[in-house]
């Protein structure tokens, strides 16, 4: 309401954020955090066994951690900031006010992580013997801790959006940060990051390393961490499900767009693949099948993608639970805006009131303020495109639906505005639907 929002029309605003966020989470969790643990563990095993070839495998893994995190990782991290700022400005402004110093510390931790990463890589061949090698391994441990600290901080911000807890009443930083799902979410992300790293890197180990003895040494390290991470991922995942609000829990299957049978079947299949792969690593690391390494990689990517989509979707109709709706409107402002009007209180709106001459323009301002965070007029997602959802609806039907939409659809925020603004919004939607018919080929 206080800032204008960008509209990515056909592609969809939510899709833009989701695409960037999922890529970033795969990199930040699977590469920066999880693979760092595998690298330093592999280096330690190489030192204990005096295995130079294994040491070089660890160095090669680190090279790709350095390349990926400082390019795609950094770009998508900044991309999340840019995309959310222009698409959900009210949400981001609220989070900045709540977590300003947490983000300052997180940026400090990230810069430290990058510095340690660069030093760790470029001293690899210089610190090779005796005490220097031990110090080099400790540098790797410091890298793993620094990457984990960034997760510790960001998890507080992300978890607070779903379960702000007592912050709603106290507006205390610590009530928001140490919210009811903070620890289960942190545990789940931490162990899932290690499983994701094992799954991603194993494919490339299986593909690139032809020496079975060397491959076995690498997979022994992976098996050790997998035996720890997989059961704890499952346990902390259940803990997280237990901690989220009942209303959010009931929306999990809905948020994926799957039927309950397909949802359960795919998740059981994915977990079974991870379990089979881990057992195979322990029992026969020399002979890990190609297809299994590919299957486990995509299963892990699917799990992390599903988690991010579900985490974002089950908050609906809120973006900060019980405080701010998904479109940036504050829950406490509902009655005020119904009396005074949305346009009169929207600082960026061109039209401040509805007249007979500006019905479409005023409706467009209302649509931008209250709808485009989730909806488009047309687009590839039928569930979000109004041209599909409201096909055949007339103006009167739309006007009747808008005041009651949050009863019909649990994920929809209530409309906040006057009767005149409802008519203006309906007029704008009908006009756009008619225009869409005219440009769509028969």
What global pTM score does this model have?
0.88
List, for residues 253-278, the tens digit of each pLDDT value.
988 889 999 999 999 999 999 999 99
Q: What is the mean pLDDT of residues 287-305?
A: 90
- Can you tell me the distance from the alpha carbon of 173 to that of 414, in angstroms, rounded to the nearest whole number? 28
Q: Which residues pair with 325 in a beta bridge?
A: 318
- CA-to-CA distance for 251 and 95, rounded, in angstroms? 24
Residue 437: per-residue pLDDT: 58
CATH homologous superfamily of 13-325 equals Formate dehydrogenase/DMSO reductase domain (1.20.1630.10)
> How is residue 324 annotated by DSSP?
E
CATH architecture of 333-439: Orthogonal Bundle (1.10)
Closest CA to 309 of 74, 73, 14: 14
- The residue behind tokens 């929306």 is 251
Report the DSSP beta bridge partners of residue 376: 385
Q: Give the span between the Cα atoms of 219 and 58, in whole angstroms.
A: 12
Concatenating the DSSP letter of every residue in 378-406 gives S-S-TTTBHHHHTTT--HHHHHHHGGGHH
Backbone angles phi, psi at 376, to 5 degrees: -125, 165
* Range from 52-61, 179-188, 296-305 carrying the lowest mean pLDDT: 296-305
pLDDT for res 441: 44
Sign, CA torsion 221/224/228/229: positive
Residue 112 CB burial class (10 angstroms; 0-12, 13-18, ≥19): middle
- In the chain, where are the structural domains located? 13-325, 333-439
**How many whole angstroms from its chain centre is CA 28?**
11
> pLDDT tens digits for 308-364?
888 888 999 999 999 999 888 999 999 999 999 999 999 888 899 999 999 999 999
Q: Tens of pLDDT along 116-164?
A: 999 999 999 999 888 999 999 999 999 999 999 999 999 999 999 999 9
What distance in Å separates the CA atoms of residue 16 and residue 343, rounded to the nearest whole number?
27
Q: For the chain, give the mean pLDDT.
A: 91
């Amino acid at each position: 309401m206080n800032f204008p929002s960008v509209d990515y029309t056909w592609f969809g605003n939510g899709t833009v954020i989701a695409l960037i966020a999922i890529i970033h989470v795969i990199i930040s969790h699977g590469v920066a955090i999880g693979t760092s643990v595998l690298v330093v563990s592999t280096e330690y095993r190489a030192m204990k066994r005096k295995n130079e070839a294994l040491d070089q495998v660890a160095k090669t893994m680190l090279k790709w951690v350095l390349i990926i995190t400082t390019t795609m990782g950094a770009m998508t991290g900044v991309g999340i900031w840019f995309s959310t700022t222009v698409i959900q400005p009210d949400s981001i402004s609220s989070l900045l006010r709540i977590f300003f110093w947490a983000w300052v510390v997180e940026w400090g931790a990230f810069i430290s992580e990058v510095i340690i990463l660069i030093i760790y890589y470029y001293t690899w061949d210089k610190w090779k013997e005796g005490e220097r090698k031990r110090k080099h391994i400790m540098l790797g441990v410091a890298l793993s801790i620094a990457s984990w600290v960034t997760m510790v901080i960001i998890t507080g911000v992300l978890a607070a959006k779903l379960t702000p807890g007592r912050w709603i009443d106290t507006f205390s930083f610590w009530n928001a940060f140490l919210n009811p799902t903070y620890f289960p979410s942190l545990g789940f992300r931490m162990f899932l990051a290690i499983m994701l790293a094992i799954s991603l890197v194993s494919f490339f180990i299986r593909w690139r390393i032809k020496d079975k003895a060397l491959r076995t040494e690498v997979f022994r390290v992976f098996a050790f961490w997998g035996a720890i991470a997989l059961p704890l991922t499952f346990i902390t995942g259940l803990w997280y499900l237990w901690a989220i609000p009942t209303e959010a829990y009931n929306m999990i299957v809905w948020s994926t767009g799957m039927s309950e049978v397909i949802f359960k079947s795919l998740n059981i299949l994915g977990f079974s693949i991870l379990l089979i792969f881990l057992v195979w690593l322990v029992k026969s690391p020399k002979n890990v099948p190609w297809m299994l390494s590919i299957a486990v990689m995509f299963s892990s990517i699917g799990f992390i993608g599903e988690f991010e989509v579900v985490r974002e979707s089950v908050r609906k109709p809120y973006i900060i639970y019980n405080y701010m709706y998904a479109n940036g409107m504050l829950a406490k402002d509902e009655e005020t805006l119904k009396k005074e009007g949305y346009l009169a209180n929207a600082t960026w709106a061109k039209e401040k009131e509805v007249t007979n001459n500006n019905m479409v323009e005023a409706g467009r301002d209302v649509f931008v303020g209250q709808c485009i965070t989730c909806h488009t007029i047309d687009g590839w997602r039928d569930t979000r495109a109004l041209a599909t959802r409201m096909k055949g609806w007339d103006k009167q039907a739309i006007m009747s639906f808008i005041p009651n939409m949050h009863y019909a659809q649990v994920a929809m925020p209530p409309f906040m505005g006057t009767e005149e603004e409802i008519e203006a919004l309906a007029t704008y939607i009908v006009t756009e639907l008619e225009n869409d018919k005219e440009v769509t080929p028969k």
